[in-house]
Amino acid sequence: MSRWLKMRVTAICLCVAIWSVASAEVLDVYFLRHAQTMANVTREYTEENQRTFSPLGEVQVDEVTEKLADLHFDVVIVSPAWRAQRTILPYLKERGLQAEIWPELYECCWDRETEEEEPALITTSRIELEDDVRAYIRFRDAEAVYMFDVDTPARGDLMVARAVELIEARFGGSGKTVLVVAHYHTGSRLLTALLADDSPRVIRPANARLSHVRQDPDGQFRLLMLNDEDVDHGNF
């Protein structure tokens, strides 16, 4: 190949790369942690406590619909947990929307002591939707009907990594706005992974509070809001 031709090929490749970045659209991802449960209050994580909102949590559920009133979401994705579904259900009913169940958003990673040399994602029990949510919450696809075994931190990390990959593959550069409704540990790891090097500290999602990250055309995410507060990057 002649020197002139090599220069032409290089120039064309650069133009294509520049055009690709310029033509890509931003992706906005909002994260909402579920409303406060009795388990959050008592620190007794029984099934009943995790399926019961505290008095404050009941108020927070009502406030979520008002908080989201001025926002438009192209897609709402939600953990299969009762507390996550029920936090967003009134909003879905008011807007006539359907959310997608993503088992990858279930809570995980609370135990950081157990080690596993070769972790693998393993599906377990089938997720059952209660009758009164079926009109507003559906499964993402045929694979999303089963929970994952997250008994070790390593498996939980794999699950969150899968959620990040799915978000970037499906929505990256799409110009869409996505609402994710999930949990404390899952949300912290999800947002941290999306932000990568732009995540300067541990992210601690608060109950029923909204955080917002944006993927710019260059593919990098930046944090715009954390727990309902706009982020001043100069002081973050």
Tokens 């959620």 sit at which residue?
163
pTM of the model: 0.87
- Structural domain count, the chain: 1
Query: pLDDT tens for residues 93-151?
Result: 999 999 999 999 999 987 767 777 788 999 999 999 999 999 999 999 999 999 999 88
The reply to whether 125 falls in a domain is yes
What rounded mean pLDDT belongs to the chain?
A: 88
Q: Is the pLDDT of residue 169 over 80?
A: yes
Tokens 């992706």 sit at which residue?
27
Range 213-235 burial, b when 16+ CB lie within 10 A, else e: bbbeeeeebebebbbeeebeeee
190: left (phi over 0), alpha (psi -120 to 50) or beta: alpha
Tokens 């932000």 sit at which residue?
195
Residue span of the structural domain in which 41 resides: 25-230
First to last CA, the chain: 51
Domain of 108: which CATH number? 3.40.50.1240
Per cent of the chain over pLDDT 70 is 87
Q: What is the C-alpha to C-alpha distance for residues 43 and 20, in angstroms, rounded to an integer?
A: 49
